[in-house]
Structure 1
């Protein structure tokens, strides 16, 4: 085949494939050419510049923001959702749906999936739609709130519901996140019951958690876990947020508090070694807490709203 004939045939194939939306099999049948030849020809068409494929990133309002966050903080993925409503519940719903799509895509049979608690994660579970069956194990990464939190947001509720959605296995936790005395915490840590959970924490491959903020002082969820009496101590320590009841400053450094030696939760350093460490949080008031978590590298995937993402980028320019 001479060059002119080859070029004419490539133009014909390009027209059929790209303009007429014909499949490679349909083109093969019509032109009498092997399908493997069509595949090689399409590759050559792109290499020669006969067809130039351009992606219109402007169609996605949030794509460039996601790229900036990924580059600035070394993230594996950033999922930014535009929100038109100012209603908190609406924001959590769309953010939950975006995270649910990610979770449904990445969970595999051999995964150990860890959850923290809260309204953001409850929406993630609610938005899971017909995920494939999996033999994954779902486990809490922090103790419970001693009956002070709505049951729908309790870590055990979320873990059990996620396991049901995936038809996987759930392991529940029967101890509070924060004990009254250090001695009680030490006794629990030494028990066989806790050792079994701790072994699962070491095997976590996907961690999904909310990010608390000192700016949320006075809210029902804050008071459920900590109460206002802890606020002054956290403020003096320069603390901006927490993950699984472990606190950090704006640089991402962990900060010891009066409850640190009474807390039952996965070690945040462990999150740095998980395949997916997914932080789910929104609101400009939480921006500093999310920045601290990002700088501490406790997450490699961030799911948030556009307004929150813009606040994060503005404060870290």
Structure 2
């Protein structure tokens, strides 16, 4: 009548989380036990659910929560519980929009607004693209009241949630679609290991200047670094360099990933 079973996958994930925290000095590590042979969307949903549950436990009244764009963040927001309670928090974008380069469901404004609706919270949306055509246009927008309002929230971040990109990503990913294939050669020449909110860095975590740098509307890495919770949501072998670079730079203090990626991170760090 009574059956007792041991969830070995849960235990293995717990051990990996402890090892990640100890090895990299993370505040929190969350490892999804999902099999890497599962479809990509299933892996994203699994990480998204665990990240959403983690967020629900740490959000407190008065928090400012920053979001980036992309499929990993879309999975986090999708997995947030509907009507998860009134929260007196403000959700804000940390980077401009993709200028029609991505599906609207991955747009930062879509994710910020959807998260705010689920929490019955306030949201601030961004009215300019991430990458402008000229530095002069970027500088002009930075003088606007709208930009000053958004950037003021960046100085007050309590929680930052973001995906991590890498030039090693192949295929038809949203990350490559955002920057275009022509940018990949430039990133490789500049020794870019990864990016967070269109801020690029090398394998040691030092910020790398690219030809986008003077034309980009986004939060700076040092402001993400100052957030009490800087949560990177990423997985796959292709993103290892981006994840390790972000850890080395201190840009993340919480990591949400999969079992296979966690094992490879630990092995590569040795």
Global fold match (TM > 0.5): yes
Higher Rg:
1
The two structures have a TM-score, normalised by structure 1, of 0.80
Q: Could you tell me how far 1:273 is from its partner in structure 2? A: 1.1
* Aligned equivalents of 2:127, 2:230: Cα separation in 1: 24
Deviates more, 1:161-170 or 1:225-234: 225-234
Going by fraction, where is helix more abundant, 1 or 2? 1
Task: Determine which of 26, 29, 35 is the counterpart of 1:78.
Answer: 29
Q: Could you tell me how far 1:86 is from its partner in structure 2? A: 2.7
For 1:106-117, list aligned pairs within 5 A: 106-117=58-69
* Aligned equivalents of 2:232, 2:137: Cα separation in 1: 30
Q: Could you tell me how far 1:149 is from its partner in structure 2? A: 0.5
Q: Which runs of 5+ in 2 are unaligned?
A: 1-6
Task: Determine which of 100, 103, 106 is the counterpart of 2:52.
Answer: 100
Correspondence for 1:126? 78
Q: Could you tell me how far 1:59 is from its partner in structure 2? A: 5.8
Q: Could you tell me how far 1:229 is from its partner in structure 2? A: 1.3
Q: SS of the residue aligned with 1:61?
A: helix
The two structures have a TM-score, normalised by structure 2, of 0.94
User: What RMSD in Å do the two structures reach over aligned CA positions?
Assistant: 1.5
Structure 1 runs, 4 residues or longer, greater than 4 Å off? 56-59
Q: Which runs of 5+ in 1 are unaligned?
A: 1-55
Q: Could you tell me how far 1:222 is from its partner in structure 2? A: 2.7
Ranked by relative contact order (alpha carbons within 8 Å, sequence separation 6 or more), the top structure is 2
* Aligned equivalents of 2:168, 2:10: Cα separation in 1: 34
* Aligned equivalents of 2:166, 2:10: Cα separation in 1: 33
Task: Determine which of 41, 54, 57 is the counterpart of 1:89.
Answer: 41
Q: Could you tell me how far 1:224 is from its partner in structure 2? A: 2.9
Q: Could you tell me how far 1:102 is from its partner in structure 2? A: 0.6
Task: Determine which of 205, 211, 218 is the counterpart of 1:252.
Answer: 205
* Aligned equivalents of 1:124, 1:155: Cα separation in 2: 13
Deviates more, 1:123-132 or 1:145-154: 123-132
